[in-house]
Chains A and B, each alone.
Chain A
Amino acid sequence: MPDAQDVTSPRPPRTLPPEAIAGLREAFAGEVASRLPRLQELLDGAPGPDSVRDAHALGSSAVVVGEPDASRTARALEAELGADVPDRERLAVLVRTLTDQLQGWT
């Protein structure tokens, strides 16, 4: 799990108690562990029933722990999954990018 970092906006919470921030980071690591592997299945097959929700949840949660780049990628992935005909090549690129960006959390 990466150290708490100074990042571009939105800035992570500072006034929350340290144990609350630790809890947020622990919960995010758990969310990455459960949701990212399901998204990685997109590299080999069609989107699963929870793909959009997984991308959406990671996109929202990444903001909370100060990972705006991962959040942007997850949201782009969510948008692509929501397209009438998702571009499989773009899906693969986004999944790989997201995997790289969240490497420290796995």
Chain B
Amino acid sequence: MSVPAQGSPVTVVVVDDSAVQRRFLRAAVEAEKDFTVVGEARNGKEAVALVARLRPTAVLMDLDLPVMSGIEAIERIMSGSPTPILVYSAFVAGTNSENALQALAAGAVDVLAKPGPDDTGSLDEYAAALRRKLRVAARVRVITHPRGRLRGSGMSGETPSLGGGIRRPLSAPPLEPLPADGPRDAVKLVAIGASTGGPQALLTLLSALPADLCQAVLVVQHMAEGFIPGLASWLDGLVPLPVVVGESGRRLVPGSVTIAPSGGNLLVQDNRLRVLCTPPEPGQFHIPGIDATFESVARALGPDALGILLTGMGRDGAAGLLAMRERGATTIGQDEATSAVYGMPAAAFALGAVEHQLPLPEIAPALLAALGRALA
């Protein structure tokens, strides 16, 4: 689908089995002049049909739906009529954060928890937050997600691989062939940054890394407070390497994946891979910050690190990846065709920070080649 220009009308399909919620969402969305709710669905099956027929700019969807679950509906929409989906559900907060990760992995762009009885804000504030997220989601250029088709063929348990993107690849060809100067025997750390579309991309990338990897892997994923433990737990159950949330003062362990916690930045302090959690910088927009981590990796490890910047909106990570490249690290950026949002990797590419620009499925093989490993 094409991305609406800034200021162009945003058409929305609302999906919820509760009439109260549908009315609330319609009123909340249409409080802004350029937003129009063009359709309402009461279950997942209706949603899939309605999105295919109306082709809205964005979808606002609950997860707990009758007839067809929200997760299955997301997969089918992303397979047949790719549309930015913002999940709005009571089942994504706190102990239910794994549902949020499942929704993001299925292709949803973002999640927002429904207000509960003990939340302190007004519903007007929720409505405003919802419109802000919807406006951002509506500008995401989504790609076809194959899992809905896999589900139909009985292969839904397999790790999804992105392919068949509906967006044209960047006109610039991939940069230098990889490995550029032979395997990097001394590489101790693989640092990965991701934002919108990141959980799905991380699953694809980390699933292809062997359990006996000799390097530590550090992941910085932009995510709202409270969702990182769910991300770690969700990935831990699906990828060969153990996945944990980073803690200040700990060391990164070779053969494991550490995810930066929410609430601040995770810095690598020295070449023994000790990490330090620091509060966010004043005015820092993305938390945890990818630039802060990548810059610390550049200082601590220089050429003994490898940096990967995946899909995401904005430009966080671009300057950090450049710092890594300038200190001699191998750097990889996800290409446009397989990025849910070609923002951060594009900014890095424009800065000259990307040594190798690759489609998502080719990043793990390239990474292992750079480490002198064959793909498992």
A residues touching B (Cβ–Cβ < 8 Å)?
9-17, 20, 23-24, 27-28, 30-31, 53, 56-57, 59-65, 68-69, 71-72, 75
Chain B contacts for A72, CB-based, 8 A: 117-118
Distance A75 CA – B119 CA, assembled complex (angstroms): 14
Contacting residues, chain A, for B116 (C-beta < 8 A): 10, 63, 71, 75
In the assembled complex, the CB of A89 is this many whole angstroms from the nearest CB of chain B, namely: 23
- In the bound complex, do residue A60 and residue B21 qualify as a contact, i.e. CB atoms below 8 Å apart? yes
Give chain B residues whose Cβ lies under 8 Å from the Cβ of A14: 122, 124
Whether B18 pairs with A57 at a CB distance below 8 angstroms is yes
* B19 interface contact, C-beta 8 A: yes
Please report whether the interface of chain A is mostly helix, strand, loop or mixed according to DSSP. Answer: helix
Chain B's nearest CB lies how many Å from the CB of A49? Answer: 10
5 A-B pairs with CB atoms under 8 Å apart are: A15-B31, A15-B124, A24-B27, A59-B117, A75-B116
Contacts of A24 in B (CB 8 A): 20, 23-24, 27
CA distance A53 to B66 in the complex (A): 9
Which B residues are CB-close (under 8 A) to A59?
90, 117
In the assembled complex, the CB of B130 is this many whole angstroms from the nearest CB of chain A, namely 11
Residues on the B chain within 8 Å of A23, using CB: 23, 27
From B18, B27, B90, give the contact of A20 (CB < 8 A).
Answer: B27
Which residues does chain A contribute within 8 Å of B18, judged by CB atoms? Answer: 31, 57, 60-61
Provide the bound-state CA to CA distance between A23 and B20, in Å. 8
Residues of A within 8 A of B114 (CB): 60, 63
Q: Does B121 contact A (CB under 8 A)?
A: yes
Q: Note all chain B residues with C-beta closer than 8 A to A64.
A: 20-21, 24, 115, 123
